[in-house]
Structure 1
């Protein structure tokens, strides 16, 4: 289980975690009206660096725009975001790799079901970099719960309240003895896991649902697509049928908190040879390397 670190950024300063709280009548609590992102921090002695920090800031901005939270972008430019992230990491002094979760909360009390012009508050906290899924062979179950479609709650916005959908699916999978769930859309096509993007390999081609398939346009998903193309792997983004996973040579998932994790079983069917495949293993090594140092892409920021 991940362990939160004791000092958090809340509002406009560092406070003890126990002092950071939102009122029970705020929209963040009543309606789940917050958006968030999680970025990894690599620790090497006294040096610390964050991965794709600008992209994570952009994710927050875009999530706010989609939901209509219009005060965050006016108050927070990228420079302020980097300064706050640097401050909260320094305050906790992690000695090993960590994650930082940043949320933008609508903290006005009982404004009703509206969002425009509502005050927002930013929180950031650091916690141990413990993966949310097994790293050496996942077992997945197709969920009976369908993925919320883009015309209901957009998946490309990381809205806290929308993750009730993910909780329903993952808890059902855990109760059935699996590690995680596969979401399908209303037409029965593959979307993603409860909190990770999904890939399959078939005849040396890397395939993943495209961004119109009710998925999160994941930052690590984009990273893996870039790395695969650079390694000469053919990449296809398109609609994916569930049965394609049953006959795939490899299946794996990606995400900040998931890493690059292989899947060895889907709905009781063995994937490929039943062990992590060569494409997944190669991309996992490449992904781990760029998290730590990446002069080629400029994805790493010292904080």
Structure 2
């Protein structure tokens, strides 16, 4: 992650980043009791637009609801969220595209792991929009670590503490000389990369694990499914076997911080032609265009 910009939103106000501190005895620190989302902001001179901001806000609401952090939805609505994001981005006055990471954390010092009824704090910070994975072609390695099942930690909730799972998988992949990991579920089916959804193309059909496969219901994932359908590409959401990645015509990953990144190799096996394929390339261009000037779907919000 790039270095945060100097001003951050913390405790209902904009402060210098050094002033935004978290108590060592808070539940967020002790147990990872916080949820988050990251949304992109396109900057074109004085014009700043956020992509699918309403969906990102709704995901925070749903993540809080799932784990019982009921204070956020009681105190925050979408208009307040937009206002806070607008003020924060304006304070930092970025001159190029940025990401905004928004979090809700339990800031009480409490015994045990109780969460319902506890006070929460919202924070946001801005950082340069640097992708977290290579954009010119990735090499993936199947992880020995299995994806946390939805029955253990809900996959639909972006809970900070759950990302230890991703850290273990990605670090092992990097140590082995790869760029990222492929998570499998307990039955050996493909879930996702360490922090991005995964797609493959076979015979002109776009395939991706469905949302019951212990995956994050990613907002970029939804975007690409919509764009592919509009372009007439057949789309299938289903269980995916690992060996399907080996024989796919194309493989790519997607996420807010990952963009649309082609995968050229999985477990030492070259994917397709060894270059980015036509469907992923077309979706990458469509996605980039939508980020900046979508008018058809109402995905862009001015800040």
Deviations 1:30-54 (A, max 9, x none): 0000000000000000110000000
Counterpart in the other structure of 1:31 = 31
Matched, 1:126 2:126: yes
Deviations 1:216-270 (A, max 9, x none): 0000000000000000000000000000000000000000000000000000000
Q: Higher mean Cα deviation, 28-37 or 102-111?
A: 102-111
How much does 1:155 deviate? 1.2
Residue 111 and residue 121 in structure 1: after superposition, are their counterparts in 2 closer, same or farther (change >3 A)?
A: farther
Instruction: Return the offset for 1:112.
Output: 1.8
Match in the other structure for 1:276: 276
Question: Segments of 4+ in structure 1 off by > 3 A?
Answer: none
> 2:225 is paired with a residue of what secondary structure?
helix
For residues 246-285 of structure 1, the aligned pairs below 5 Å read 246-285=246-285
Equivalence map 1:22-61=2 (5 Å): 22-61=22-61
1:173-184 equivalent positions in 2, closer than 5 A: 173-184=173-184
Query: What TM-score does the superposition give when structure 2 sets the normalisation length?
Result: 0.99
Q: Which residue of 1 aligns with 2:82?
A: 82
Using the TM superposition, give the Cα deviation of residue 3 of structure 1 relative to its aligned residue in structure 2, in angstroms. Answer: 2.1
Measured after TM superposition, the shift of residue 110 of structure 1 is: 2.5
What is the CA–CA distance in structure 2 between the aligned matches of 1:107 and 1:76, rounded to whole Å? 16
Q: Please state whether the residue corresponding to 1:263 is helix, strand or coil.
A: strand
Q: Deviations over 1:71-93 (max 9, x none)?
A: 00000000100000001100100
Local SS of the residue matching 1:82 = helix
Gaps in structure 1 of 5+ consecutive residues: none
Give RMSD over aligned pairs.
0.6
For 1:193, the equivalent position in structure 2 comes to 193
Q: 2-side partners of 1:22 and 1:75: how far apart?
A: 20
CA-CA distance at 1:156 after TM superposition = 0.9
Gapped runs of 5+ residues in structure 2?
A: none
Q: Which residue of the partner structure matches residue 94 of structure 1? A: 94
Q: For the residues of structure 1 that align with 2:170 and 2:40, how far apart are their CA atoms?
A: 23
The within-5 A match list for 1:9-24 is: 9-24=9-24
- CA distance, structure 2, for counterparts of residue 267 and residue 114 of structure 1: 42
- The 1-side partners of 2:96 and 2:150 are apart by 37
* 1:289 alignment counterpart: 289
C-alpha distance in 2 between matches for 1:236 and 1:208: 7
CA distance in 2, matches of 1:154, 1:243: 26
SS in 2 for 1:161: helix
